[in-house]
Amino acid sequence: GEDVEQSLFLSVREGDSSVINCTYTDSSSTYLYWYKQEPGAGLQLLTYIFSNMDMKQDQRLTVLLNKKDKHLSLRIADTQTGDSAIYFCAESEASNTGKLIFGQGTTLQVKP
């Protein structure tokens, strides 16, 4: 079945760039997503990329998609302490039901 994998933890200094990586197995996914979860809160959509794109940039966020290697990354430029959260990668299931397959989440710790 489909599977999405992420590393569990990343620590960076304030002002540095953060890169969170994700690998997925379903090559027929239409969209790939990045969600952010702050402590005690629900999930907030940060950005998404359509499967026929290689890159998407949105202010401080850059998403890179390597379809050959089934690798997705999220780069956060000039990381701030407010970026500390859990980041989830997710892929849309090919059946077009809107179901999402989530990774385990990467905890980003930003040190001042």
Partner 1 sequence: NAGVTQTPKFQVLKTGQSMTLQCAQDMNHNSMYWYRQDPGMGLRLIYYSASEGTTDKGEVPNGYNVSRLNKREFSLRLESAAPSQTSVYFCASIGQAIEQYFGPGTRLTVT
Q: Is 4 in the site for partner 1 (CB under 8 A)?
A: yes
Q: Is 8 in the site for partner 1 (CB under 8 A)?
A: yes
CA pseudo-torsion sign 32, 97, 25, 40:
positive
CB of 105 to partner 1, least distance (A): 5
Classify the phi-psi angles of 60: left when phi > 0, otherwise alpha if psi is within -120 to 50, otherwise beta. Answer: alpha
Q: Is 45 in the site for partner 1 (CB under 8 A)?
A: yes
Whose Cβ is closer to partner 1: residue 41's or residue 94's?
A: 41
Give residue 42's identity as a one-letter amino acid code. Answer: G
Q: Is 104 in the site for partner 1 (CB under 8 A)?
A: yes
Among 104, 107, 106, 108, residue whose Cα is nearest residue 4 = 104
* Burial of residue 101, with CB atoms counted within 10 A of its CB: 0-12 exposed, 13-18 middle, 19 or more buried: middle
Q: Is 41 in the site for partner 1 (CB under 8 A)?
A: yes
Q: Which of 48, 53, 67, 75 binds partner 1 (CB under 8 A)?
A: 48
**Residues at the site binding partner 1, with contacts judged by CB under 8 A:** 4, 8, 31, 35, 41-45, 48, 88, 90, 92, 97-100, 102-105
